[in-house]
Chain A
Amino acid sequence: MKLKHVYHLYNRAGFGIGYEEAQELEKLTKKEVVDKLFEASKKIDYLDLDIKELKQEIRLIVQNTSGKREIRKQVASVLKENKGKLKELNKAWVERLQTTDAVLRERMTLFWANHFVCHDKNIIYFKRYQEVLRTNALGNFKDFVISISKEPSMQKYLNLRQNKKSSPNENFARELMELFTLGRDQLYTEKDIKEAAKAFTGWSHDLQGDFKLRNRQHDIGEKIFIGKKGNWDGEDIIEMITTHKECARFICKKLYTYFVNDKPNETHITEMIAVFYPSYDIEKVMKHIFLSSWFYQDENIGVKIKSPIDVLVGIGRTIPIAYQKPKELMYLQKLLGQVLLFPPNVAGWSGGQDWINANTLMLRLKLPALLLNQGVIALEEKRAFEDDFEKFNKKKNRNKRLHVEANWEAFEKIYSNKHRQYIQEMLLPQKLSSATQKHISSLTTTDLKSFCIQLMSIPEYQMC
């Protein structure tokens, strides 16, 4: 496999790959490389976050308190005290992305987190939800939809708990079809949403977060859903949706625009549907993409705009970065426009050019210097303008340094100045314009670190 294609594959299916490893893979065939990629993602590792004590505390409340309302109240207050755990989970996720070998599973998890979009302040539930994403990331799509619909975080997020026989709440049913399975205004009508909402009445969970069907709230009556009459319940609805090829098309198109090219190619997508439908085997369709010849065509290399997390993690996988303050890491994500675990709305991040505006672009370009060269960033809006610039520059800015540590030693163990060409190929595998090449050859620095930072500060590095 060509070195350039190894980089391309790992940029899209993972978060980049180092020169040494890529060189090893270069000796293998495409099939062998892709098999290795999937093999490494067989294992399922959940994020490390210790909530044992918190769970124990809640167990004790349940044991020692009488009255449901009082229990809920006390649990809520314990959870509120532990809201910092959400930041820890965010940090654990970013660190996982920076260090994992199971890159494909993590990449898929990131994809699905922006598909089954959800947010929950309840750390116990939200951790569970994350685990469902990781477990099903390369599994069966139909099972995935059913599992995710039973998660307490999702039920809360889309008001499924408020969906009762006496007065159905349509939020979940609508998003199930619009965002999760069929796409906006495909196949279904407003009437179908109402009928599906009825089928999901009574879907709920207990305090531990396990799924519970509240029979008294569940409408067992007849519903007509996309032309079919029956006493459908929620699982039936999901089952019926997936019998329609439109569902496979919706998912394949989304996978294609995420993994291959912003511009959908109908021929390639049709090919994918033939693999995906009706089995809904995610691993199979992903393998098909990475084994296809079209995935490696020049028109698909270096043409996608990296997400903020891709940029952040990509830098961190080249030069390991340790974040000492979870709060700073989150603020950085906020400025870049993508905070993991905090999607902007039910539809998630729209990606592509939407990541880019004047603010986010300039910060992205400056990011390598910020993280790797003790760059200064305005962490908080500072007071207007002091009169004495010297004083301003010295005192104020010192506080604005990020508390990050870049492990250059790890980098320097592998690379030396004679590897400059390799470093460039690794960081910028795409075909470069003559102007950009001219710019790179005009870089005069003899310091390898500076050279690396400068390459990462070119707009082409924002592409993958």
Chain B
Amino acid sequence: MKRRDFIKQTTLISGSLLVPQFLTALPTIVDKTNHKRLVIIQLSGGNDGLNTIIPYSNDIYYRERNGIAINANNMYKLTDEVGLHHKMPTHKELYDQGQLTIINNVGYPNPNRSHFRATDIWHSASDAKEYETTGWIGRWMQEQQKANTAAIEIDDSLSLLLKGETTSGLAVSNEKVLYRTASDPYFKSLLKQHTATHLSEHNLGYLYKTMVEATSSAQYIHETTKLKLANTSISYPKTIFGKQLSTIARFINSGLHTEVYYASLGGFDTHANQVARQQRLLKVYDEGIKTFVKDLKQQNTFKDTLIMVFSEFGRRVKQNAARGTDHGTANQVYLIGDNLKTKGLYNAMPDLRNLDHNGDLKYQIDFRSIYKNVLEEWLKMDSQLVLKGDFKGLTLV
């Protein structure tokens, strides 16, 4: 028997078995998909923004960083004042084509310098003093009653970003493993016995609910993405990041209903010997983006995809003694796409003469203003339902 036929048949046969009785007790999930896709990328560890988008005509920059500052001759010059790291040729190209927006000096009041807390703040869109248990994408899913396949994190575990009150996104590092495991007949018969009461128990209920969702989501992803596999001719860099992006592109190009993707590239916590390390990481990042954008453009999906890149914090203006930098505050956010309303540099570089008591940047644009714009103009919803507080409107997408 041919495999394709086999799958068709088993799917048909098991169709009735697959949906346990108590699934009807779950809220009816309506998937009103628009065709916009949002890809969120985190440069984890706190990328040193000042050495990525570089104020090369600023004396303070060279004075404070005499061991790690990037030489003005060794960068892509975007303006008379601003340079781009030399390992980011793709971003230079995107910049020239008007497909890149650089938003400088993004942060929030009373910035936290712990990786985890700062990441939580960015994921949950909370204030520095607020501890949220849901992410802004999770709340978007909740409000819009999305299925868990609406947001996918390319990883083994799920981040706060994709967690909602009762609905969460999916963490998928390998969709084939997920599918193969979820289609076991023993589990199907086990689920058949169960009733809605299980779902109300705290931790155990969570397991049963996850099991039911996993089974149907695994099937959906598998059925949708398997056909597109053969058509992909582009080869991605052999890095973990490259693999993550290749999965996202495959999902997008197959027409999967997923609207938000999240992946992170780690290692940016450059306390020591920063120059070589950051250079290596930015190369991995830039090369990944290069292939990803090319892939989407070829499949004509780039026009409906917005890539948003952030880091949980920037780094201190003054370098430390180990030729590295310590945890800082405000940083850049990059937007990549075909529908940008403000192309290139959105605002001026941070003022290095006006630092806080720690010697860190004072933010200018609240990161939630960016979320607000993306929620309203890209995901097309009332941002008030997801964000607490009144944030300034920006002209981004």
1/0 per residue B196-218: CB within 8 Å of A? 01100011101110110110011
Min distance, Cβ A56 to any Cβ of chain B, angstroms: 30
A374 at the interface (CB under 8 A from B): no
A352 at the interface (CB under 8 A from B): yes
Asked if A360 and B1 sit within 8 Å, CB to CB, the answer is no
Q: Please measure, in the bound complex, the distance between the C-alpha atom of A170 and the C-alpha atom of B325, giving whole angstroms.
A: 11
Asked if A442 and B214 sit within 8 Å, CB to CB, the answer is no
The interface residues of chain A lying within 8 Å CB-to-CB of B150 are none
Asked if B2 and A170 sit within 8 Å, CB to CB, the answer is no
What count of chain A residues pass the 8 Å CB interface test? Answer: 63
Asked if A346 and B115 sit within 8 Å, CB to CB, the answer is yes
Asked if B271 and A162 sit within 8 Å, CB to CB, the answer is yes
Nearest residue in B to A391 (C-beta to C-beta)?
A: B3
Residue in contact with B174 in the complex, picked from A164, A366, A381, CB distance below 8 Å: A381
Given A262-B203, A458-B190, A174 and B114 touching (CB < 8 A)? Answer: yes
Asked if B176 and A459 sit within 8 Å, CB to CB, the answer is no
Asked if A358 and B326 sit within 8 Å, CB to CB, the answer is no
Asked if A385 and B229 sit within 8 Å, CB to CB, the answer is yes
Interface residue stretch chosen among B31-39, B89-97, B178-186: B178-186
Asked if A359 and B178 sit within 8 Å, CB to CB, the answer is yes
A190 at the interface (CB under 8 A from B): yes
Min distance, Cβ B191 to any Cβ of chain A, angstroms: 10
Residue in contact with B173 in the complex, picked from A347, A359, A377, A389, CB distance below 8 Å: A359
Asked if B157 and A162 sit within 8 Å, CB to CB, the answer is no
Asked if B114 and A357 sit within 8 Å, CB to CB, the answer is no
A49 at the interface (CB under 8 A from B): no
Interface residue stretch chosen among B253-261, B278-286, B316-324, B366-374: B316-324
Asked if A170 and B326 sit within 8 Å, CB to CB, the answer is yes
1/0 per residue B88-119: CB within 8 Å of A? 00000000000000000000000001111100
Asked if B176 and A378 sit within 8 Å, CB to CB, the answer is yes
Q: Please measure, in the bound complex, the distance between the C-alpha atom of A262 and the C-alpha atom of B197, giving whole angstroms.
A: 21
Interface residue stretch chosen among A80-88, A143-151, A230-238, A432-440: A432-440
Min distance, Cβ B53 to any Cβ of chain A, angstroms: 25
A354 at the interface (CB under 8 A from B): yes
Q: Please measure, in the bound complex, the distance between the C-alpha atom of A190 and the C-alpha atom of B113, giving whole angstroms.
A: 9
Asked if A345 and B115 sit within 8 Å, CB to CB, the answer is yes
A27 at the interface (CB under 8 A from B): no
Min distance, Cβ A319 to any Cβ of chain B, angstroms: 18
Asked if A439 and B190 sit within 8 Å, CB to CB, the answer is yes
Min distance, Cβ B212 to any Cβ of chain A, angstroms: 10
Asked if A347 and B116 sit within 8 Å, CB to CB, the answer is yes
Asked if A438 and B177 sit within 8 Å, CB to CB, the answer is no
B59 at the interface (CB under 8 A from A): no
Q: Please measure, in the bound complex, the distance between the C-alpha atom of A166 and the C-alpha atom of B210, giving whole angstroms.
A: 53
1/0 per residue B332-347: CB within 8 Å of A? 0000000000000000
Residue in contact with A460 in the complex, picked from B116, B184, B189, B204, CB distance below 8 Å: B204
Given A334-B156, A335-B156, A169 and B3 touching (CB < 8 A)? Answer: no
Q: Please measure, in the bound complex, the distance between the C-alpha atom of A87 and the C-alpha atom of B227, giving whole angstroms.
A: 38
Given A162-B320, A356-B206, A389-B1, A362 and B115 touching (CB < 8 A)? Answer: no
The interface residues of chain A lying within 8 Å CB-to-CB of B210 are 356-358, 361
Q: Please measure, in the bound complex, the distance between the C-alpha atom of A110 and the C-alpha atom of B298, giving whole angstroms.
A: 49
Nearest residue in A to B173 (C-beta to C-beta)?
A: A359
* Secondary structure of the B contact surface, majority rule: helix
Residue in contact with B170 in the complex, picked from A171, A345, A357, CB distance below 8 Å: A357
Asked if B178 and A354 sit within 8 Å, CB to CB, the answer is no
B230 at the interface (CB under 8 A from A): yes
A60 at the interface (CB under 8 A from B): no
Asked if A378 and B180 sit within 8 Å, CB to CB, the answer is yes
Asked if A435 and B195 sit within 8 Å, CB to CB, the answer is yes
Given A162-B321, A382-B176, A388 and B3 touching (CB < 8 A)? Answer: yes
User: Which bracket fits the contact residues of B?
Assistant: 35 or more
Asked if A169 and B326 sit within 8 Å, CB to CB, the answer is yes
Q: Please measure, in the bound complex, the distance between the C-alpha atom of A463 and the C-alpha atom of B3, giving whole angstroms.
A: 37
Asked if A184 and B203 sit within 8 Å, CB to CB, the answer is no
A384 at the interface (CB under 8 A from B): yes
The interface residues of chain A lying within 8 Å CB-to-CB of B186 are 454, 457
Q: Please measure, in the bound complex, the distance between the C-alpha atom of A174 and the C-alpha atom of B116, giving whole angstroms.
A: 12
Min distance, Cβ A267 to any Cβ of chain B, angstroms: 20
Nearest residue in A to B1 (C-beta to C-beta)?
A: A389
B272 at the interface (CB under 8 A from A): yes
A422 at the interface (CB under 8 A from B): no
Q: Please measure, in the bound complex, the distance between the C-alpha atom of A381 and the C-alpha atom of B246, giving whole angstroms.
A: 14
Residue in contact with A167 in the complex, picked from B157, B173, B176, B320, CB distance below 8 Å: B320
Residues of A419-464 contacting chain B, CB below 8 A: 433, 435-436, 438-439, 442, 454, 457-460, 462-463
B24 at the interface (CB under 8 A from A): no
A408 at the interface (CB under 8 A from B): no
Nearest residue in B to A349 (C-beta to C-beta)?
A: B157
Asked if B177 and A378 sit within 8 Å, CB to CB, the answer is yes
- By Cβ-Cβ distance, the 9 closest A-B pairs, closest first, are A389-B3, A358-B214, A162-B322, A362-B181, A167-B321, A384-B229, A459-B207, A439-B193, A357-B171
Q: List 24 A-B contacts (CB under 8 A).
A: A162-B322, A162-B324, A164-B321, A178-B114, A184-B117, A304-B203, A347-B115, A352-B203, A356-B206, A357-B170, A358-B217, A359-B178, A359-B214, A360-B156, A363-B181, A365-B211, A366-B184, A377-B177, A387-B4, A392-B3, A435-B193, A435-B194, A439-B193, A462-B207
Q: Which residues of B contact A (CB under 8 A)?
A: 1-4, 6, 113-117, 148, 156-158, 168, 170-174, 176-178, 180-182, 184, 186-187, 189-190, 193-195, 197-198, 202-204, 206-208, 210-211, 213-214, 217-218, 226, 229-230, 271-272, 320-322, 324, 326-327, 358
Q: Which residues of A contact B (CB under 8 A)?
A: 159, 162, 164, 166-167, 169-171, 174, 178, 184, 190, 262, 302-305, 334-335, 337, 344-347, 352-363, 365-366, 377-378, 381-382, 384-390, 392, 433, 435-436, 438-439, 442, 454, 457-460, 462-463
